[in-house]
Amino acid sequence: MSGLSRQLTLLTNNVNEKFAVINSRLLSMEDRLAAFESKNCCAVEENNSKKRRRVHNPKIAEAVRRLHNSEANCSRYEPEHGLSSPHNEAVSSYLLGAISASPDLTADHDDIVSACKTYYESIRRSFRYKQHELASQAETAKSLARSRSRRKRLLEARQSVLAEDEMDIWKCATIDLMSDEEDGIVDGVSGWIVRPPASRSLELSELCATLQSRLEAIPKYRVVYFGSK
């Protein structure tokens, strides 16, 4: 009995030690989980804060651009350096202070900071595209932007002469399903080159042709559209 009692005592102590280790590990895991959740929440809040700071305010953006490029401003962003460089930080501080003090503008601090960052990025992007190795990429980007702008105007113009019974077919129309149109030369003859997208359905293509005919019958459209070529 005495031997069994000692064995039971040892077993109990052993079990208690193991439970203590398990509890310690559980507490450690809970601490890690809490730390992770806290870090995650901070990251979400930081991202949300960044998003709030990047909200575009056209009025403030224009004020930043004008002030930065004004003749009175002798210190401008250096695109070859990062935004956090001493010089560029000084430029941002100047813009922030000047716009904040302007009586004609009621601007939130974060909106001004966002506008400064956005304008610096536009200058930086322009600087990079001027580098020899990126020149072709810059030209491609400009060409794509012009093409998309034309297709957007074409979509809006055709939609303006849409009949009620044509709405169902037009529902699937997007900018990307409009023809790509530009000035060009084919067989030595200058003209307006139209490239319909291959993915456009025959039904939508026929409707686009009908809408285009209606547009071209409008004198005002012909003056604006064809005159812009």
**What pLDDT, in 10s, does the model give residues 141-199?**
777 888 888 889 889 989 999 999 999 999 989 988 888 765 555 566 554 556 778 88
The string of DSSP letters for 32-54 reads HHHHHHHHHHHHHHHHHHHHHHT
Q: Please, which residues have CB within 8 angstroms of residue 222's CB and are 6 or more apart in sequence?
A: 216
Which pTM was predicted?
0.42
pLDDT at 26 over 50: yes
Spatial separation of the C-alpha atoms in residues 81 and 151, rounded to whole Å: 37
How many angstroms separate the most distant Cα atoms in the chain? 114
Confidence of residue 136 (pLDDT cuts 50, 70, 90): confident
Of 76 and 14, the structure prediction assigns the larger pLDDT to: 76
What's the sign of the alpha-carbon dihedral 117, 118, 123, 127?
Answer: positive
Tokens of 207: 């409707």
What's the confidence (pLDDT) of residue 125? 84
- Write down the pLDDT at residue 227: 47
Domain spans, the chain:
58-130, 146-227
Q: Is residue 210 a contact partner of residue 181, using CB atoms and an 8 Å limit?
A: no
Check residue 57 and give its pLDDT: 80
Q: pLDDT, tens digit, for every residue of 190-225?
A: 545 567 788 888 999 999 989 988 988 887 766 555
Label residue 168 left, alpha or beta by phi (over 0 means left) and psi (-120 to 50 means alpha): alpha
Give residue 5's pLDDT.
61
The Cα 42–Cα 149 span in angstroms is 40
* Tens of pLDDT, residues 85-125: 999 999 999 999 998 888 888 778 888 999 999 999 999 98
User: Taking a C-beta distance cutoff of 8 angstroms, is the pair 174, 204 a contact?
Assistant: no
Q: Are 82 and 88 in contact (CB under 8 A)?
A: yes
Is residue 212 within 8 A of residue 226, CB to CB? The reply is: no
With b meaning 16 or more CB within 10 Å and e meaning fewer, what string describes 46-69? eeeeeeebeeebeebbebbbebbe
